[in-house]
Structure 1
């Protein structure tokens, strides 16, 4: 394999690892296959073209064409000729997808759902990064410049994702780049008077870079406050900023540790409902996300009034009270506007547009930071009769909001079991709510279920412990399985009342980041989207009064699906009674953690950092030890013994900071060492014999010094290599004795070197690392 081919492969590895650092920005991993496939296609095209034509410029052109073909094949949607040749329709389609992807980036905070538009940007971006890295590292032979696109990619999750990209992925991205840099130093050092262009300083630089990489992983894990769990809402000190993520990952938490005030409001509503920020209606089995469609027309300004809420009849609208709420944002910075639902009109400066289907309000180049606005909204309080008598939802709406991906059978089975005996959708919704709040034995906890994948809802139903995201998602999914249109809303609980108003006066409330909340909304024709509250009362207080029927069937016995209710219906507790009855058990009474839980609770950041540090420290010593053993194990006769001794001497004195040009002869090298061994000493004698032995082995012209085999030489003379050794010993025996000569010479050289150099040579021998780097740069 040529140096160009090896560099191409390492460049591809660096690009692929950098692309993987983007994983925390997206809720699912479906885009990774396409992105890594594009990186491999770019590398493969470079290898083939350079191998066949040896024209770097042609390779770059073909790689760019490969990126284009991959994008057309994956995202052309059948508009391309023969599947690969783009047409005007292909260009329009890809441009629209790219626009959709940009909108996802602009509107949603991380982790975002990988809708097709965002997936296009990720796959095409991975191809362009691979092309740029290959261009710098291989074509231009400037691997250092390849760090620019790699750094640009790796900086994105560091800036946007809570906790960055993860230690393992960061190391995987850093190692290939270090290898590329090592190859650059090797090429730049040719002809500079050192062996193969590599000096002790160069190897020290490589070791320093490796230690820096390990420290970058280990230090954040060791410093308190730098290891943040992935929250979708976070606050800082001083000028607080909190961000609500409209993408609900079933493994993420809406909890926050700060109680800093981020929203204050005054209202004439005696019992305020939660402030809704956004609704999520697309569920893929792991996440809830808002649907993305065409751009909102700029004429849909909230200042001009919002349309009637979807499904809300005129009769219910007329019976509702118009309320007024004034909101002041202190520390919330995002594009979605927190509002009571349903809003009629919003007095706010700037360009704020509403979505017709959801009444979500989005800023057109605006954010909520520092905003003060006044909202007119309806206080809708449907009656039980209106909800029971609601006709079936329109077909298109029902199809859209009851769509589910393949789910474990236990989800639908549990929904049928819980709602057995219900006579209408309202009773089914009320029974689902009561199941989660009280009768099902669920516990509110800030720890998510272990499974955050496609079986997350089933895992939650089994473990019966989670936070509001799990409760809201489970109820919405189970409602959809029963044919009830459902979605999930994200916003804030009413918060804490700061100053209660008299009858007819305004009351003041404050909301902190800890009030972030999610709840399900179910659709009833004539009333519209209705809030239910499955999260236990320990977190949410009272459930909405309309969500608790005055008369409800008794819940079926667990495990008896389809059980018939008893003839006499039992009276359901009132809203106030259900709020005062504890619905969650004491966390201290929860089941003891399992052995696997204890394993997961270990400080894996510390463990990984310590392991990487140990590996980095032991690698030079272990690689040198292996090299030495392999060298001496190959000694079979006297010439090989002489060569092994000379190579061993060369490696060990290099660790002591002494080197010579690669063209230097054994006699010249021995002469440069004579100033350390002196003349007439045992070390000088051993050095002379070793030099004569290697010259004899290489050229057959060396002459052993006088007296080399005399008794006066003692055991040292008997252990000399090359021509001095007579045929009484095998080559392996000679090798063992010659190593003693190397030790004597090295000790004499080390005695003249500074103490820190001697310690560095003992603890961090670099012979093994140099051999690996020499192999890497071999043409």
Structure 2
């Protein structure tokens, strides 16, 4: 590999190593697959421009164009010309998608869900960084200057990752940059010439005597000087980068580690915008974020229910996240709300109206009381019919001053109805009782111990709720349990202290171990009622609670978090006593008789560690395999172009050889071209007879360096175990080819030999050379022949002249 090739490969590795750290702020792997593809295509385009010996500015222009083609193929193939070229429609579609990505960033706290708009931004950003690094490091030969560019990418992860970035990711980024520096140091040292080893005892005067020893010492000094300079630069920039990575993040506001709600962007009029993160990390602490008002509302309910934002049901042992949205189970919100899953017609309910005003909340999940039967709001929203989660599309999100109206079917099931509920549907059981692989058995053992001999799912749930709220000795705390084991829930059960996410998660997981479908809801407690009848919701009301499924009542809210933070538990979660009494549950949807400060005075989640679950997460879905295959086909096509061009030229050469003389010339050109691709240089000043003589001599010796060395130079002697007959046939084939071409050039008309015999002679000689060449040379001959690159270069120049 040439020094330029090594430098370009190191540049690609450095960009990918730095980009990998962004997984701390972006969920899933689809975005990295697309970013990797963009970076590879950019590097391949630069390599192709170098191979064709195009001017540097041409390659610098071709790389952004190639990146644009990749973006069209991956994200807007329907609007692109021929599915890949960036026409006006494709550019408009990319712009709209980029704006959607910006809205996703503004409306979510890290780690954000990797939606198409966000994936477009990350892919385009990684590709753009690859273009800049390639130009600076390869074209301008200043790889040390790429340090600030790569550091800027790493700084994104440093600034926006809740809890900060561990040193390992910074070390990975620095290692990629140092690899780039090392590749450049090697190429600079090679520019001084071949390194010559010298004896340690050799000495020369300052003037030197010249000769091989002096050259060797000069080369050694050059290598040492080049390596020392590169090392000095690497150490200097590394120290600066470390200091910047450590000193800068604490100076940036809004980078604290939180779980439920996060300030992330400038709101209307400069107010801080907040959003609820749908990812719940059990290892993160809560930190107070004040009492900023996020919502206000008026309602006909005497005691309102919590405002649910989203439900999360995919648990990997440390983090809860929403499952993949099945688009076949969604509908536009303008078409009306779907029916409530699992709710029987005879279950008591009352219609309750909420008139909600958005304050400092920037959210793509719409806060609503559950279950909502009617929602009136402007913007592009859709509803998941299986969960009733309401999600924005495109650039839509809640905004300050926005008003919307919700009608809730406030459900008040009786404890007896829940106790006597029938079995849940099979699809509900399968989805909502799934547990991660490797879940510690202590969780199920503890659940069995708490419920004892009780067999009713509802009564088991009430026992779990009572154990967490009162009988189990748990206390509420803003700090996560100390990580004494590999599982956060085990630590929570041992320490018996945590916040709402731990209480809700533990009850949901333990319910699943008992076969009860369960999930976790994220939203806000009702808030505080003001003197004018308006309810005010602040960051203090951010909360998480479990929902368990009972046929006929659907998803039912439980409250395991202690009453000091949440007030009384819902009335329907109080187990019935004997003899059964009539239900006294309120009919206005009320369940919390008093409002207390919430558990979650926070801002958003710490990084989610990927884990293994029995379900496919939404963040790992959405990889556009068709687009990836198209781009892969384009890359393979570019790599195959040299081989295809050589094959095309050979076919045309033989097709136009209609005389014996032309066939002899075609055979000789074919031979010279193929052995040249194998690394056997043929000086143009030598005659066919001189070339044939040296080539035949090398084939007879069959030793190292004979055909591998330039034809016309001497090589060392050596023998092989081949038979003499085989060694004789190869020089005879060379002689026939030399005789044919000499006859074509210097003999009488018709004296040149031709026909298919020459084709066999060429194949025999080439095969003999292949047997003596190193494997790297034969692979280049088979896959990336230099003659094919030369043909492409010649055609490209011809097209430029015509243009």
**Partners in 2 of 1:150 and 1:142 — Cα distance?**
14
Matched, 1:215 2:205: no
Q: Residue 328 and residue 39 in structure 1: after superposition, are their counterparts in 2 closer, same or farther (change >3 A)?
A: closer
What residue in structure 1 maps to residue 481 of structure 2? 449
CA distance in 1, matches of 2:259, 2:26: 14
- How much has 1:394 moved relative to structure 2? 0.9
The partner residue of 2:359 within 325, 330, 341 is 330
SS of the residue 1:273 aligns to: coil
Aligned to 1:549, the other structure's residue is in SS state coil
- Report the secondary structure of 1:413's partner residue: helix
For 1:551, the equivalent position in structure 2 comes to: 577
What is the aligned partner in structure 1 of residue 545 from structure 2? Answer: 519
Task: Give how far 1:311 is off.
Answer: 0.5
Pairing partner for 1:540 from 544, 549, 566: 566
Change beyond 3 A, Cα 1:182–1:482: closer
**What do the CA deviations read for 1:425-446 (whole angstroms, capped 9, x no partner)?**
1101101111111111112111
Q: 1:265 to 1:126 in 2, by over 3 A?
A: same
Task: Say if 2:363 and 2:398, in contact at 8 Å, map to a contact too.
Answer: yes
Pick aligned residue for 1:368 from 398, 404, 415: 398
Shift of 1:2: 8.1
Q: 1 CA distance for matches of 2:160 and 2:259? A: 12
Secondary structure of the residue aligned to 1:314 is coil
Structure 2: runs of 5 or more not aligned: 68-96, 193-220, 597-803
State how 1:363-512 maps to structure 2 within 5 Å. 363-364=392-393, 365-370=395-400, 371-406=402-437, 407-451=439-483, 455-499=487-531, 507-512=533-538
Given the superposition, is the C-alpha separation of residues 43 and 102 from structure 1 closer, same or farther in structure 2, using an over 3 Å criterion?
Answer: closer
Structure number with the bigger relative contact order (C-alpha 8 A, sep ≥ 6) is 2
For 1:211 and 1:454, how far apart are their aligned partners in 2? Answer: 34
Distance 1:380 1:306 in 2: 16
| Distance change >3 Å, CA 362–CA 510, structure 1 → 2 | same
Q: Is the 8 A contact 2:352 2:407 kept in 1?
A: yes
Matches of 1:10 and 1:523 in 2, distance apart?
A: 54
1:392/1:222 Cα in 2 relative to 1: closer, same or farther (>3 Å)?
closer
Q: Deviations over 1:32-84 (max 9, x none)?
A: 998999999999999x999x999999x99xx99xx9xxxxxxxxxxxxxxxxx
Shift in Å at residue 308 of structure 1?
Answer: 2.1
Q: Distance in 1 between matches of 2:260 and 2:128?
A: 30
Distance 1:355 1:255, change over 3 A: farther
Contact 1:20-1:32 within 8 A present in 2 as well: no
- Is 1:20 aligned to 2:55, yes or no? no
Q: 1:253 to 1:530 in 2, by over 3 A?
A: farther
1:261 aligns with 2:293: yes
- How far apart are 1:460 and its partner, in Å? 1.7
**Residues 1:347 and 2:376 are matched in the alignment:** yes
1:43–1:363 Cα change, 3 Å:
closer
Q: Whole-Å Cα distance in 2 between the matches of residues 115 and 413 of structure 1?
A: 39
Q: CA deviation at 1:418?
A: 0.8
Map 1:39-58 → 2, pairs under 5 A:
none
Which residue in the other structure is 2:696 paired with? Answer: none
SS in 2 for 1:215: helix
TM-score computed with the length of structure 2 as normaliser: 0.54
Moved more, 172-181 or 328-337: 172-181
> 1:227-286, CA deviations, whole angstroms, 9 ceiling, x for partnerless residues?
622444234896121111112222235654221111111112111111100011222222
Alignment partner of 1:281 is 2:313? yes
The change in CA–CA distance for 1:181 and 1:41 in structure 2 (over 3 A counts) is: closer
Task: Say if 1:44 and 1:461 are closer, same or farther in 2 by CA, change over 3 A.
Answer: farther
Matches within 5 A, 1:189-208: none
Residues 283 and 104 (structure 1), Cα distance of their counterparts in 2 relative to 1, 3 Å cut: farther
Structure 1: any 5+ residue segments left out of the alignment? 68-98, 502-506, 553-567, 583-779
Partner of 2:110: 110
Determine the C-alpha separation between the residues in 2 that align with 1:342 and 1:141: 63
Q: CA-to-partner distance for each residue in 1:698-740, whole Å, 9 max, x for gaps?
A: xxxxxxxxxxxxxxxxxxxxxxxxxxxxxxxxxxxxxxxxxxx
Residues 273 and 25 of structure 1: CA distance in aligned 2, closer, same or farther (over 3 Å): same
Give the TM-score normalised by structure 1: 0.55
* Matched position secondary structure for 1:435: helix
Counterpart position of 2:628: none
Q: How many residues align?
A: 521
Match of 1:295 among 322, 327, 332: 327
1:228 corresponds to 2:256: yes
The 1-side partners of 2:4 and 2:36 are apart by 21
Instruction: Name the SS of the counterpart of 1:21 in structure 2.
Output: helix
Deviates more, 1:123-132 or 1:416-425: 123-132
The CA deviation at 1:162 is 3.9
Question: Contact 1:468 / 1:535 at 8 angstroms: preserved in 2?
Answer: yes
**SS, match of residue 375 in structure 1:** strand
**SS of aligned partner of 2:369:** coil
8 Å Cα contact 1:232-1:253 kept in structure 2? no
Could you tell me how far 1:23 is from its partner in structure 2?
3.3
Give the conservation status (yes or no) of the 8 Å contact 1:320–1:379. yes
2: CA distance, partners of 1:482 / 1:280: 19
Q: How far apart are the structure 1 equivalents of 2:14 and 2:164?
A: 18
Q: C-alpha displacement at 1:184, in angstroms?
A: 6.9
Q: Structure 1 pair 473/350, CA: closer, same or farther in 2 (3 Å)?
A: same
Give the direction of change, closer, same or farther, for the CA distance of 1:268–1:246 in structure 2 (3 Å limit).
same
CA-CA distance at 1:198 after TM superposition: 8.2
Alpha-carbon RMSD across the aligned residues, in angstroms, is 5.6
Q: CA deviation at 1:126?
A: 7.4
What's 2:739 paired with?
none
Q: Would you say 1:309 and 2:337 are equivalent positions?
A: no
Q: Which moved more, 1:246-255 or 1:159-168?
A: 159-168
Change (3 A) 1:43 1:241: closer
Equivalence for 2:607: none
